[in-house]
Amino acid sequence: MEQKIHQGRNVKRFREMLNIKQEALAYDLGEEWNQKKISMLEQKDVIEDNLLKQISAVLKIPVEAFQNFDEEQAINIISNTFGDNACVGNPNSTFNFNPIEELKRLHEEKIVLFERMLKEKDEMMVRLEKLIGK
């Protein structure tokens, strides 16, 4: 049995995640919109593509998110991904990286960045000296 995606409910979820009130969304969609119309829109199973595009632009969320997001599927993925040693909320978490190695890598990146900045500074000094000498 294929479960249908409820686009209106997805609009509501994303709007709430962004902490945007129905009135604010209505205002951003234009003069013909109001809070009650947004409430009715969020109850619709399917929303017209052009309207979804407008909502997508206002909320800065891809249209596909409204068309494809399935909360039950997301919950299944999360529950199947996190086990007993998951990092989220578990003080006995097992980390799969060495913090010393991470610090060494970051330090090496910083050295490379400083060397590049010094080289650019030297090149800029040469160009400035040429300009002054002319």
Q: Among residues 29, 22, 59, which one has the least CA distance to residue 43? A: 22
Q: Regarding predicted confidence, which is higher, 56 or 72? A: 56
Residue 58 CB contacts under 8 Å (≥ 6 apart), including other chains: 25, 28, 29
Output the pLDDT for position 1. 43
Q: Regarding predicted confidence, which is higher, 86 or 57? A: 57
CB 33 within 8 A of CB 69: no
**The pLDDT of residue 50 is above 90:** yes
Q: What is the pTM of this model?
A: 0.53
3-class secondary structure, 94 = coil
Q: How many CB atoms lie within 10 A of CB 25?
A: 22
Please give the mean pLDDT across all residues of the chain.
82
Mean pLDDT to the nearest integer, 51-65 = 89
